[in-house]
Structure 1
Amino acid sequence: MATTPGREAPAVDVLVDGLLAAIAQQLDAPLPARLREAFHRVDRQRFLPDRMWLRDGSGGYEPVDRATEPDRWTTAAYSDEPLVTRFTDGLPSSSASMPSMVARMLLLAGLPERSAGQKTAGTRVLELGAGTGYNAGLLCVLVGDGRVTTVELDPVLAAEAQENLKATGFAPTVVMGDAADCRLPGDAYDVVLATFSVDRIPPAWLTQVRPGGRIVTPWTSAWCTYGTLALTAHQHGRAEGRFHSFASFMRMARSDTVRPGPAPEPTAHESGVGGAVRSSTRLSPWTVAGGDLDTEFHVGLTVPGTSFAWDTSGEHAPTRLQVADTTGSWATVDHDGRTSAAFTVTQAGPRRLWDEITAAHAEWERLGRPGVDRYGLTITGHATTAWVDSPATAVAAL
């Protein structure tokens, strides 16, 4: 990669050293030497647009422009923070991932463990989701330009990533296509690395990785976007691996689907019509939807297709948890603002969603309140099973 000319190069090195220190603090250990080298050789600011959006601390985003706030923009570029680089229909649609998360995923893939001499041994990497091109640049340093292929669905992002990579001296193969159905010609890859979250492993990915190779991807469910899955591929489309308790990435974009929204507000239940059933529950809605990621991860795995949203408008109750799925089933859990000993539940549709959530929480308790790191996934043909501790303790068929 061409270095920044003149007096800027030392300043960039200092900024990268600060970023590496922040990453080491997050990981509780310094990065391997080869990965530190990659962060120095791939200048993050050269992969970022002149306008970015930063988290504002209140659940939203605020813009920062390089032209009007150059110091703030540069500080953000070398911070260990995710940076939104694009909005679509008022929602973030592309971002530069948090560098410590990028480092964790590269470590899970085993790439920094290879020595410099092994770089020429033929390790091939398929990246799914080119984004700005920054991660592909890191991969080029680790395994060589000719052994990196990156796939991007959005033609504008694909072109921008390719231009960013070219401008910084890297030349991986950039392919415009749907990452969920990528079937690229040539030999199988040693590593398949996704830069977005999925709720299941697309079958095409298993055809792209050699036996013994790795698939590393952030994870999501309709209930909870959290966790990273690292799978080892085996023969005949089989793969197995474990979840790791880090990462919250944007969901995989598809050309044939719409972006999922929050759980819709149920209707026609206040009078008990439409098959709605009232009951009470002692399970607090905050227990399963209040930010405990271990609990929410389990609910997301075991109550599939179910999402939630909080209603604090006071229109129906002081606080209401709204739950819904794609079959038309829904449930509400109301807090009266006075007692947390019991909550009013209303359910309707083909599924009794709150009953399923209550059962899922009870199972999580029975299993010893497992954290995300205790979960794993086994793929055999068309069957996918999630488990706790070992495949012998299955908790869900996905």
Structure 2
Amino acid sequence: MDGLLTALAEHLGRPLPVAYADAVRAVPRHGFLPERVWPRDGAGGYAALDRAADPGRWTRAAYRDATLVTRFTDGLPSSAASMPSMVVRTLLLAGPAPGHRVLELGTGTGFSAGLLAALVGDDHVTTVELDPALAARAGANLKAAGRSPLVVTGDAADGWAPGAPYDRVVATFSVDRVPPAWLRQARPGGRIVTPWTSPWCSYGTLALDVGPGGTARGRFHAFGSFMPMRGAAAPPQGGGGTAGPARADGATTSTGLSPWAVAGGDLDAEFHIGLGVPGAAFAWDTGGEHAHTRLHLSDTATPSWAAVDYDGRHADRFTVTQAGPRALWDEVAAAYGRWEKLGRPGVERYRMAVAADGTQTVAVVAAVGDGTGEVPVRTLPACR
């Protein structure tokens, strides 16, 4: 436990506030993990770790500041125990105080709900989980830890109206727009905190301060990469395109913009592209079947696609093939060019404003004339 607290302090760059350190001590993480977990294997995948077979390694993993996958669905991670530092940073950003009514969305193992209960009181926390089996397991975990928040089985996108209004609404998964129910159920003066995602890039955490009449304003913070919201309305995720051959009907041109510039791990650039090119996803193909290296672009809503090929020799020119109703590569290149003209802003310079009609507008703080101002990047229409 002391090792985890030390790791959390190192990650934050300062000791945890006393209330948070006390909450971490009072809610032992190992009590919220299943007998089998999957930590990263160091080679881009996951390795199963069983408590019965190797209790020492399992316990060390439980108190390491690392994400542990707790379930796979169709061969992909579908539930996880998030990095404790990410959980704590999210809660610090939300700033729950004793007596606040808190709605948590995405119970998972129950660990975060347990921390919230320790911070504000058990009877002030409601946590919503889509999966009945996970909700039941989380409830058992919480009870064993001596915590008793209300655990509800339901679609987190709908919030939980019976307990509204809430002082804090905290999501443990990422979204690409703030569900209207969350805005309706947060009281004026309250705060909503949620990780952010797009099909291009899952990164960033949004903190919204709720105003009167359903309005809200807030900004993004440069941390957090979480699994997406599950359910019928869950968005497809970044990097989710399928690499494949360029079809014969594709138009072929060339570009001097490196595919690594837009999809090579620069999270500030990728965050902007995710906002500026809605529905675009990418996947890398290094198998060599179609090119030495290929960046494949796809659209989540149309049959549009693009392929950007590196021949292994010329790093100043790349072949582009694209087809469909959208010229995806042209859109991505234009978004990247705009990001550069805006001064290559970091995630923390992006703001969101929610109007009374539910419209959600993301803007970036950039140079405007002789000063600075908010330049709109994307507007999301109202959704009821």
**Which TM-score band applies after superposition, normalised by the shorter structure?**
over 0.9
Equivalences for residues 256-267 of structure 1 within 5 A: 262-265=240-243
TM-fit CA distance, 1:240: 1.2
Residue in structure 1 matching 2:325, options 347, 350, 354 = 350
Q: Distance in 2 between matches of 1:183 and 1:322?
A: 40
Residue 366 (1) aligns with residue 341 (2): yes
Q: Distance in 2 between matches of 1:237 and 1:255?
A: 25
TM-fit CA distance, 1:268: 6.1
SS in 1 for 2:24: helix
Equivalences for residues 202-351 of structure 1 within 5 A: 202-255=179-232, 262-265=240-243, 269=247, 271=248, 273=249, 276-325=250-299, 326-351=301-326
Q: Distance in 1 between matches of 2:265 and 2:88?
A: 25
TM-fit CA distance, 1:182: 2.5
Residue 32 (1) aligns with residue 10 (2): no
TM-fit CA distance, 1:393: 1.2
Q: Distance in 2 between matches of 1:128 and 1:378?
A: 21
State whether residues 102 and 135 of structure 1, in contact with CA within 8 Å, keep that contact through their aligned partners in structure 2. Answer: yes
Residue in structure 1 matching 2:71, options 80, 86, 103 = 86
TM-fit CA distance, 1:163: 0.7
Q: Distance in 2 between matches of 1:150 and 1:124?
A: 11
Please, which moves more after superposition, 166-175 or 387-396? Answer: 387-396
Q: Distance in 1 between matches of 2:19 and 2:213?
A: 34
Residue in structure 2 matching 1:388, options 364, 367, 382 = 364
Q: Distance in 1 between matches of 2:157 and 2:163?
A: 18
Q: Distance in 2 between matches of 1:278 and 1:375?
A: 35
Residues paired across the two proteins, number: 371
Q: Distance in 2 between matches of 1:162 and 1:31?
A: 27
Residue 127 (1) aligns with residue 104 (2): yes
TM-fit CA distance, 1:258: 8.5
Q: Distance in 2 between matches of 1:222 and 1:140?
A: 33
Return the TM-score normalized by structure 1: 0.90
Residue 74 (1) aligns with residue 59 (2): yes
Q: Distance in 1 between matches of 2:240 and 2:271?
A: 17
Residue in structure 1 matching 2:33, options 22, 40, 48 = 48
CA-to-partner distance for each residue in 1:362-384, whole Å, 9 max, x for gaps? 11111111111111111112311
Q: Distance in 2 between matches of 1:20 and 1:27?
A: 11
> Unaligned 5+ residue runs, structure 2?
367-372
Q: Distance in 2 between matches of 1:194 and 1:126?
A: 8
Return the TM-score normalized by structure 2: 0.94
SS in 1 for 2:374: coil
Q: Distance in 1 between matches of 2:40 and 2:92?
A: 26
Q: Distance in 1 between matches of 2:180 and 2:123?
A: 25
TM-fit CA distance, 1:183: 4.0
Identity percentage over the alignment? 61
Please, which moves more after superposition, 250-259 or 50-59? Answer: 250-259
Q: Distance in 1 between matches of 2:42 and 2:283?
A: 20
TM-fit CA distance, 1:259: 6.3
TM-fit CA distance, 1:186: 3.8
Q: Distance in 2 between matches of 1:368 and 1:257?
A: 32
Q: Distance in 2 between matches of 1:256 and 1:284?
A: 33
State whether residues 266 and 330 of structure 1, in contact with CA within 8 Å, keep that contact through their aligned partners in structure 2. Answer: no
The residue identity in structure 2 corresponding to 1:59 is G
Aligned to 2:91: 106
